[in-house]
Amino acid sequence: MPGPRFPLAIPSDSDFPLSNIPFGIFTTDENTTPRTGTAVGTLILDLALVEKHGLLGGLAGSTSFFSHATLNAFAAQPAAVRTAVRARIIELLQDGSSALFADAALNAVAFVQQSRAVMHLPMTIGDFSDFMCAEVHVTNCSKMDNAPGAPPNFFAMPTAYNGRASSVIVSGTPVRRPRGMLRMTGSPPSFAFVPTARIDYELEMGIFISQPVPFGTTISSADAAREHIFGLVMLNDWTARDVQFTEKTPLGPFNGKGSGTTISPWVVTLDALAGAEVAGTDAHALANMATRPPYLRHDAPAHTWNIRVTAALQRDAWPGGPVDVSASNLSALYWTPAQMVAYHASSGCGLRTGDLLGTGTISSPEPAEGAGPGVYSLGCLHELSKAGTQAFKLANGEEIIFVEDGDEVLLRGQVVRADGSTIGFGECRGRIEPVI
């Protein structure tokens, strides 16, 4: 069967125009070997085949990286090599005389419909750390915990916890409702190992590390830290709030956040985000930038990205598909992704290719531009339900508090450039299954 003709038919609302070229790992029924592809419209271009046929023109010398089961080998290449490879892929797709279209045998096998592919975790993830970098989110959570507002240390450094990579999962993988140790009512205090009653989503983005930071070394500035970012994904750090708040004193999150962290399968590179760079919108962060120590300071005026992020919820009994709940923007964070990377490395711990950092819940003062009625600026149900004390209403008239068994949460991200063109991150989807 012949493959697609030139030019490729890319839907106008696709997350994956030629200006995107994200990288992911896929298999098919016909070829169960995990390999690298890029999403183009509704298709996947098999980059392992492109590489095998010599179409990359020796841009990485004799190195082969697209036949691996993860993106780590490619992500570890110097930024200039990754940029050149991406540009070459775009060139091949824009040229009707390239082998992708002129070679009938290659054309027939180089493209796969996304609907026929199985996506896998894009990277071998050695470590996962999750930050808490939205001033609105930290302020709301602090007040619900009987504090007057965000603690002073939040404004001095991007705070985080060391998570676990074992339960980072790719979009579409179900998450089982966990059991955890919960404090029972009554006195004296008692605890029981029971199913969580308060499963929450967290609307986040994930940051994948490219070239490593060797152990014992640090990063000189937040601007320099961008050189260690391979790309971004959508990320949902599922949280059992009742378990989290039972165990958090005195050490912080542990099993309450251990049951699953869902990420989207396509890594969108910083090259694809060129043109979307902006200054952050948190006025306090901008005012304090000049007072930061050098390793946490951005001198570049555009130091984060204008990425609209949304969370939607689908409940089996609801007709009409997922209902939007949250809409915010990456640029609303007090601390930028690059500042998170620089701070993480500041202890000398080192960072490795494939390490994953979460931004923390992206909440903002106002819903993202384009959000409809009944959509909120807060990126988790803990905030929206005021720590589970009251239900809130969605645009479809339904009221919710936390995620129920059978619910599916869908996160998405989109860049809208000044010329009106868009790119997206694909789906970050997860369904909660009943406890065993």
pLDDT tens-digit profile of 206-252? 999 999 999 999 999 999 999 999 999 999 999 999 999 999 888 88
The yes-or-no answer on residue 228 being catalytic is no
pLDDT tens-digit series, residues 29-41: 999 999 999 999 9
Domain boundaries, the chain: 24-120, 128-433
Average pLDDT over residues 366-384: 89
Assess whether pLDDT exceeds 80 at residue 60: no
Assess whether pLDDT exceeds 80 at residue 1: no
Separation of alpha carbons 297 and 192, rounded Å: 46
Separation of alpha carbons 371 and 394, rounded Å: 13
Percent of the chain topping pLDDT 70: 99
pLDDT tens-digit series, residues 130-158: 999 999 999 999 999 989 999 999 999 99
Q: What is the band of 63 on the pLDDT scale with cuts at 50, 70, 90?
A: confident
pTM of the model: 0.97
Average pLDDT over residues 103-125: 97
Strands 128-131 and 356-358, by their bridges, are: parallel
Strands 428-433 and 175-176, by their bridges, are: parallel
Q: What is the band of 174 on the pLDDT scale with cuts at 50, 70, 90?
A: very high
pLDDT of residue 249: 85
SS3 373: coil
pLDDT of residue 62: 60
Going across the sheet that includes 24-28, the strands are: 111-113, 43-46, 35-40, 24-28, 117-120
Residue 255 near residue 238, CB atoms below 8 Å:
no
Assess whether pLDDT exceeds 70 at residue 61: no
Q: What is the band of 371 on the pLDDT scale with cuts at 50, 70, 90?
A: confident
Tell me, yes or no, if the two domains 24-120 and 128-433 fold the same way: no
Residues in the chain, how many? 436
Which residue is catalytic, options 68, 120, 137, 228?
137
pLDDT tens-digit series, residues 17-30: 999 999 999 999 99
Among 15-24, 44-53, 60-69, 230-239, whose mean pLDDT is lowest?
A: 60-69
Average pLDDT over residues 176-197: 94
Q: What is the band of 374 on the pLDDT scale with cuts at 50, 70, 90?
A: confident
Strands (E), 114-218: 117-120, 128-131, 160-162, 168-170, 175-176, 179-184, 190-195, 199-200, 203-209
DSSP state of 107: H
Assess whether pLDDT exceeds 80 at residue 254: yes
Q: Which residues pair with 200 in a beta bridge?
A: 239
Separation of alpha carbons 119 and 157, rounded Å: 36
pLDDT of residue 424: 98
Q: What is the band of 253 on the pLDDT scale with cuts at 50, 70, 90?
A: confident
Question: How many CB atoms lie under 10 A from the CB of residue 155?
Answer: 14
Across the chain, mean pLDDT equals 95
Q: In the CATH scheme, what architecture does the domain 24-120 have?
A: Roll (2.30)
Tell me which CATH code domain 128-433 carries: 3.90.850.10
Q: What is the band of 173 on the pLDDT scale with cuts at 50, 70, 90?
A: very high
Question: How many CB atoms lie under 10 A from the CB of residue 380?
Answer: 26
Q: What is the band of 258 on the pLDDT scale with cuts at 50, 70, 90?
A: very high
SS3 337: helix
Question: How many CB atoms lie under 10 A from the CB of residue 99?
Answer: 16
Q: Nearest CA to 170 among 362, 427, 373, 391?
A: 427
Assess whether pLDDT exceeds 70 at residue 46: yes
